[in-house]
């Protein structure tokens, strides 16, 4: 049960129930779609660009499990105001955290995102946690193709 508690902790359940920045964004500069064909999770990430290649605003809509929704919600909170390169660096850190061997400490500098460290204990759920991130990455790259986790 302890690993489960680690996975489904309060913060995650809260973001699942009340996802932040959960809306479409009229006039978004970029948007990308992400899709997990294995479980049917589906989301769209929107972003508005500010001066100096900064993410001025970030939002998402879609449906998915608690892990994918909470991860998307936490991501939008964490990356608002960050530059492209900062966002990419956080994405890299986040990705290595959820794919790390169990038992390792979460890397520094992830702030609230560290609550998703428990995902690494559940290899089948890594795709859920990283769907929003891959989708954002594609939006940052300006790719028009839908992201799929398969």
Partner 1 sequence: MSVHAKTAEKMTGDSMMKTQGSKLEFNLKKIREEFPALHQKVHGKPLVYLDNAASTQKPRAVIEKLHHYYTWDNANIHRGVHTLSQRATDEYEAAREKVRAFIHAQKTSEVIFTRGTTESINLVAQTYGRQNIKAGDEIIISHMEHHSNIVPWQMLVEQIGAQLKVVPVTDAGELDLEAYQNMLSEKTKLVAMVHVSNSLGTINPMKKIIDVAHQAGVPVLVDGAQSVNHLEINVQELDADFFVFSGHKLFAPTGIGVLYGKESLLENMPPYQGGGDMIRQVSFEKTTYNDLPYKFEAGTPHIAGAIGLGAAIDYVQELGMSQLASYEKEVLDYATKALSALPGLKVIGQAKEKTSVLSFVLQDIHPHDIGTILDNEGVAVRAGHHCTMPLMQRFGVPATVRASFAFYNSFEEVDALLEAIKKVQEVFKG
Q: Does 8 participate in binding partner 1 (rule CB under 8 A)?
A: yes
Q: List beta partners, residue 148.
A: 35
Cα 91 to chain center, whole Å?
8
Q: Interface mask (CB under 8 A) for partner 1, residues 18-47, using x and -?
A: --------------------xxxxx-----
Residue 39 C-beta: closest distance to partner 1, Å:
5
Return the DSSP state at 42: E
Which element (helix H / strand E) includes 2? Answer: helix 2-7
The correct pick among 77, 122, 126, 148 for binding partner 1 (CB under 8 A) is 122
Cα separation of 79 and 96, whole Å? 17
Burial-class residue 62 by CB neighbours within 10 Å (0-12, 13-18, 19+).
buried
Q: Output 7 or 79, the one with its CB closest to partner 1.
A: 7
Minimum gap (Å) between residue 134 Cβ and partner 1: 17
- Of these, 25, 45, 58, 67, which contacts partner 1 (CB under 8 A)? 67
Interaction between residue 64 and partner 1 (CB under 8 A): yes
Nearest to partner 1 of 3, 141 (CB atom) = 3
Name the DSSP class of 124.
Answer: G
């Amino acid at each position: 049960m302890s690993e489960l508690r680690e996975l489904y902790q309060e913060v995650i359940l809260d973001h699942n129930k009340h996802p932040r920045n959960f809306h479409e964004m009229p006039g978004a500069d970029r948007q990308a779609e992400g899709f997990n064909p294995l479980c049917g999770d589906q989301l769209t990430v929107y972003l508005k660009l500010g001066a100096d290649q900064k993410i001025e605003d970030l939002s998402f809509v879609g449906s998915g499990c608690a892990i994918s929704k909470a991860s998307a919600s936490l991501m939008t909170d964490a990356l608002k105001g960050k530059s492209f390169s900062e966002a990419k660096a956080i994405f890299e850190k986040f990705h290595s955290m959820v794919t790390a061997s169990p038992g390792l400490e979460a890397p520094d500098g992830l702030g609230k995102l560290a609550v998703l460290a428990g995902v690494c204990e559940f290899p089948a759920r890594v795709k859920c946690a990283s769907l929003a991130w891959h989708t954002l990455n594609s939006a940052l790259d300006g790719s028009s193709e839908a992201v799929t986790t398969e």
